[in-house]
Amino acid sequence: MTKSLATIKITNLRLRTFIGFNLEEREKMQDVVINIEIRYPAQNAILEDDVEAALNYKKITKAVILHVEQGRFLLLEKLVSDVLEISCQHSWVQFARVSVDKPHALRFADSVSLTLEYHRE
């Protein structure tokens, strides 16, 4: 079998945090919806069926939850950047993409979202 890149997708992680720079946004927590995609070489996990050979997505998710729920962010860009950094901390990660939606940020839109990507050189 050839070398395989696994893709982990954490879909619609719904959290609450302080996000925004208006006074109301700084005083009241808001919903955010986070989507994370991570790619890593999974050859050892495929061959060995060993937990230690796989990327621990539960650990990543817990770190994201802790950071977001305890954080205060003026900009969506900072929040997305922080989540991306957490998502690609493990040396196995070759690629990561994080999108964060801020529902009801605009009057006539379902949400506003921002996406950032990481590519290992």
CA distance 3 to 5: 7
> Which neighbouring-strand residues pair with 33?
14, 101
Distances (CA, A) of 61 to 36, 47, 99, 111: 9, 25, 14, 22
Q: For position 51, what pLDDT does the model report?
A: 86
pLDDT in tens, 23-74: 887 889 999 999 999 999 988 888 888 888 889 999 999 999 999 999 999 9
Query: For the sheet containing 95-103, what is the strand order?
Result: 72-73, 5-19, 30-41, 95-103, 111-119
Task: Answer yes or no: is pLDDT of 1 > 80.
Answer: no
pLDDT at 2: 56
pTM, two decimals, is 0.91
DSSP of 36-84, one letter per residue? EEEEEE-HHHHHH--GGGS--HHHHHHHHHHHHHH-EES-HHHHHHHHH
